[in-house]
Amino acid sequence: MVGSAIVRKLKAEGFENLLVRKSSELDLRNQAAVEDFFATEKPDYVFLAAAKVGGIVANNTYRAEFLYDNLLIEANIIHQAYRTGVKKLLFLGSSCIYPKLAPQPLKEEYLLSGFLEATNEPYAIAKITGIKLCESYRRQYGCNFISAMPTNLYGPNDNYDLQSSHVLPALIRKFHEAKMNDQPSVEVWGTGSPRREFLHANDLADACFFLMENYNDELFVNIGTGVDVTIRELVDQVRQVVGYEGEVRWNTDKPDGTPRKLMDVSRLHAMGWQHRTELRDGLEMTYQDFLANEELYVE
């Protein structure tokens, strides 16, 4: 989702000399393969969007893979970017790097100030390591490696697998299938009380392009909207967009996750960037994309 959005943005800006590889073409966990790619292609600029990602179920179930795979991906790419003289690299992390009970909204300086959310701790640790890799290669070798932390994302090419997806695509699929099958109710996990912030992937790509052009400092930058909603409010909006008229049943035996994850985006706003896509508009765009590509998204 993120990589394809960045490619669309770069093409829209007139860039044609893009080096892209699917995971089936280049295993970024393979040190030798990554070394060969960088030695052969010699990229000037790198957007490091690759990662093993998923929702609360996937994060809590595949804890070893989420830590191991992400550590290998970022370490291999960042090290080879240094070795081959990449001019600039942008590493993308996640809002889950922040402590579970950090003050809201989340400021960049809150990193490592408290305990992480248990269900996604391995993924968070991997992403924190990526930030520290960029910081350390900058300090030791003078590399212009920057980091950005997006909030929760959604948009074209999202993951709609009900076992591994994030909350928003999972809700779209659940409500759509319930509507198509005339199901009287849909189960949603938790109480609906946690608050989450959502950013369209196109806006993230726009912010990444902006930072690659304009930002060269060590401290990572939050990317978000600065606005959040409760999961209950999100569920209601998705249900309306999909047109499902049945009952929503809340399974309160399931975990809520972090109570709130609102990003402080004042630093990015001060640089002159703000999001363009409001949540309701983004949901309608995303559902239309889901309908147009349902055969690809749902196997």
Residue numbers in the known binding site are 92-95, 127, 150-153, 166, 174, 189, 196, 256
**Interatomic CA distance for residues 238 and 287, integer angstroms:** 9
* 147 φ/ψ sector (left φ>0, alpha ψ -120 to 50, else beta): beta
Is 123 a residue of the active site?
A: yes
Distance from the Cα of residue 245 to its chain's centroid: 30
Residue numbers in the known binding site for substrate are 174, 189, 196, 256
3-class SS shares of the chain: helix, strand, coil, % to 5? 50, 15, 40
Catalytic residue among 82, 123, 160, 297: 123
Residue numbers in the known binding site for NADP(+) are 92-95, 127, 150-153, 166
Q: Are strands 260-261 and 185-189 parallel, antiparallel or unpaired?
A: unpaired
DSSP 3-state of 89: strand
Residues whose CB falls within 8 Å of the CB of residue 241, separated by 6 or more in sequence, listed in order: 280, 283, 284, 287
**Catalytic site positions:** 123
